[in-house]
Amino acid sequence: MSTQRHRRLVVHYAARPLALALAMASAGAYAASASSGTGSLPRTTPAVALNFSIQVDKFLFFRVGDGAWPTPGGTTSQVGFTLSPSIPAVPTTPVNGSNTAVNWSGTAPTFAVAASGNVLPVEVRSNGGQVSVFATVTTALTSGANTIPMNVINVTSSDAALPPPPIPASGTGTSVNVTGGGAGTVNSLVTIRNANWTFSYNSGTSRTAGNYSGQLSFTATVP
């Protein structure tokens, strides 16, 4: 039996995006039965058997963005990146307009990246054993006329025990394992982990100008 929980991330390039949340609670059940016995005096000891049956159901809680435990979030988080070119040599930030003189050496411009909403809280809780997380590109990063591979987005974590999965160029990426345990747990089969994931844009490759948007979903699974 496999349990899954999804989180979405919408990413905007020169605009906005990201997506999120979902969770599940657990239930437990137990039952007991007993027998009886008698003994005769003066020195007999009756034996009584007592059988127990205890069921502990699995649960998995996962969020990226709002919705701290125990309440799942209901909004889609948005991350935005704005790329501003600078041209050599100075560097000089170009000014919009026609017939504008610029001292330019002719080499390729560089882009400064300004990010917004790119640091998000992440939380995983489960009693189902090994928790794995992977990312899926649900909507390509596109301007309508052009498309950028989603793996221009990088993610780092404030806690190595709750690592972000690699972002694929498209489709579904490979999964990473969350380290079991954490504050308040009794063993490594129970997981309680919190971290901040920081999203960044890799501006090393020149792209066609435009307002690009796309969406990621993150999925947590247990066996």
pLDDT by residue for the chain (223 residues), tens only, comes to: 445 555 555 444 333 333 333 333 333 444 444 455 555 556 677 889 999 999 999 999 999 998 878 887 778 899 999 998 888 877 777 778 888 887 888 888 888 899 999 999 999 999 999 999 999 999 999 999 999 999 999 999 999 999 999 999 999 999 999 999 999 898 888 999 999 999 999 988 888 999 999 999 999 999 9
The pLDDT value recorded for residue 35 is 54
pLDDT for the residue numbered 94: 78
The whole-number pLDDT of residue 17 equals 35
Long-range Cβ contact pairs of 104-112 (< 8 A, separation 24 or more): 108/206, 109/85, 109/206, 110/85, 110/86, 110/203, 111/83, 111/84, 111/85, 111/86, 111/203, 111/206, 112/83, 112/84, 112/86, 112/203
Q: Which CATH class is domain 3-27+55-81+115-222?
A: mainly beta
* The pair of three-digit structure tokens given for residue 22, joined into one six-digit string: 């979902």
Provide the whole-model pTM. 0.76
pLDDT score recorded for residue 78: 95
Exposure on the CB side of residue 182, measured as CA atoms within 13 A: 20
